[in-house]
Amino acid sequence: MTKTFKDYYNDPEFAERHREYTKVKVPCECGKSYPRGSIARHKKTNLHKKQMDKNPISKQLHDAQELIKKLMNEKDLKVN
C-alpha cells in the first residue's frame, strides 16, 4: 500500500524533517533569499519583478530560463 503525504506527515520524524527542509533559505535570482517553501510566491511579487527589471544580468538570466522552458515544452510536443 502506498503512503499518502498525510500518512507521512503523521510521522513526527518526517514532519520535522519536512518543516526544516521548507525553512531553508534559498537565493533568488533577484538577489534576495527566501525560505524554500515561499520562493514560488516571492517570484510573483512586485518586489521580485522590480528587482529583475533593475538588474540587467538577473533579467537576462530570467529570460534565458524562460526560453529554455519554452524550448523544452516545444520539444516535448513534437511528434516524430
Half-sphere exposure of 12 (CA within 13 A, CB side): 0
Domain boundaries, the chain: 5-77
Q: What is the mean pLDDT of each successive set of 10 residues along the chain, which is 80 residues long?
A: 79 88 88 88 90 76 82 66
Q: What is the pLDDT of residue 46?
A: 93
Give me the residue label for grid cell 531553508. 24
Q: What is the pLDDT of residue 41?
A: 92
Task: Identify whether the C-beta of residue 51 lies closer than 8 Å to the C-beta of residue 58.
Answer: yes
- Euclidean distance between CA atoms 18 and 78, whole angstroms: 38
Q: What is the pLDDT of residue 35?
A: 93
Q: What is the pLDDT of residue 75?
A: 67
